[in-house]
Amino acid sequence: MFLAQVVGTVVSPVQHPVLDGESLLLLAVLKPDGSPTGTTRVAIDRARAGVGERVLVVDEGNAARQVLGRDGAPVKTVIVGIVDYVELDGRLAYDARH
Amino acid sequence: MYLARVIGRVVATRRTPGLEGVALQWIQPLDASGAPSGRALVACAVISSGPGDLVHYVDGREGALACPRPFVPVDAAILGFVEEVARAEREER
């Protein structure tokens, strides 16, 4: 799993039927310190995340199929959580709490 | 799963059994800004995509799962068209 920043919503009107009804988000993958690695993912949103939020992402087929509850689905990347805060080397590296 | 642009088609008449009728297309992965990122690859198209289209695709074992017959030697499949990517500040086609 890794952390990522939601950078946009992906509008896909015609796609594999397994993705019907799912919302897709464009993610920038992050390093532990919160800076972007430069890599990008398209993920199924199962945590109701919004643009700008920092999210926890699983990028493995069996885990993704388990989250969706669909055997044999051609899916890999799913947002499974929204990050409240990150501690790194004993310090707060990210804090979204108010 | 990733964002990519379809940049070409691949025609191969003689194929491994199970791959008959599956369209093969060159795709160029894109970064979050829409710029090319990394090496282009050949993917199966399970939608009617063609050169110029913005798409999303899956790689690895899941590529084969997207095909009509899931036990085929495929490691990438185009899953859908991307009509637009809506961002907080701007939109792009």
Looking at the partner chain, which of A12, A13, A36 has a beta carbon nearest the beta carbon of B56? A12
Both tokens assigned to A31: 């390093």
Question: What is d(CA A22, CA A45) in angstroms, rounded to the nearest whole number?
Answer: 7
Judging by beta carbons within 10 Å of its beta carbon (0-12, 13-18, 19+), is residue A40 exposed, middle or buried? buried
Residues of the domain holding B24: 1-12+20-49
Mean pLDDT of A39-61: 96
Looking at the partner chain, which of B32, B46, B80 has a beta carbon nearest the beta carbon of A40? B32
Q: What is the pLDDT of residues A14-41, one digit of tens each?
A: 999 999 999 999 999 999 999 999 999 9
Residues of the domain holding A36: 2-12+19-84
Count of structural domains, chain A: 1
Which of A2, A5, A15 should one mutate to test binding to chain B, selecting the residue with the greatest count of B CBs within 10 A? A15
Residue B65 inside a domain? The answer is no
Residue B91 inside a domain? The answer is no
Residue A97 inside a domain? The answer is no
Q: Is there a contact between A42 and B88 if contact means CB atoms under 8 Å apart?
A: no
Containing B8, the helix (H) or strand (E) segment is: strand B2-10
Residue A90 inside a domain? The answer is no
Q: Is there a contact between A16 and B81 if contact means CB atoms under 8 Å apart?
A: no
Give how far B11 is from chain A: nearest CA, Å: 22
Q: What is the pLDDT of residue B89?
A: 57
| CA atoms A67, A60, A25, A8: torsion sign | positive
Residue A23 inside a domain? The answer is yes
Q: What is the pLDDT of residue A30?
A: 97
Residue A91 inside a domain? The answer is no
CA dihedral of A9, A12, A18, A20, whole degrees rounded to 10: 80
Task: Give SS3 for A22.
Answer: coil
The CATH number covering residue A53 comes to: 2.40.50.220
What are the pLDDT tens digits along chain B (93 aa)?
A: 999 999 999 999 999 888 888 999 999 999 999 999 999 999 999 999 999 999 999 999 999 999 989 899 999 999 999 999 988 654 555
Q: What is the pLDDT of residue B21?
A: 86
Q: Which residues pair with B3 in a beta bridge?
A: B56
Residue A64 inside a domain? The answer is yes
Looking at the partner chain, which of B47, B61, B85 has a beta carbon nearest the beta carbon of A61? B61
- A 10 A CB-CB count for B65 gives 23
Which of A2, A20, A26 should one mutate to test binding to chain B, selecting the residue with the greatest count of B CBs within 10 A? A26
Count of structural domains, chain B: 1
Q: What is the pLDDT of residue B42?
A: 97
Q: Find chain A residues with C-beta within 8 A of B64's C-beta.
A: 74
Both tokens assigned to B11: 């025609």
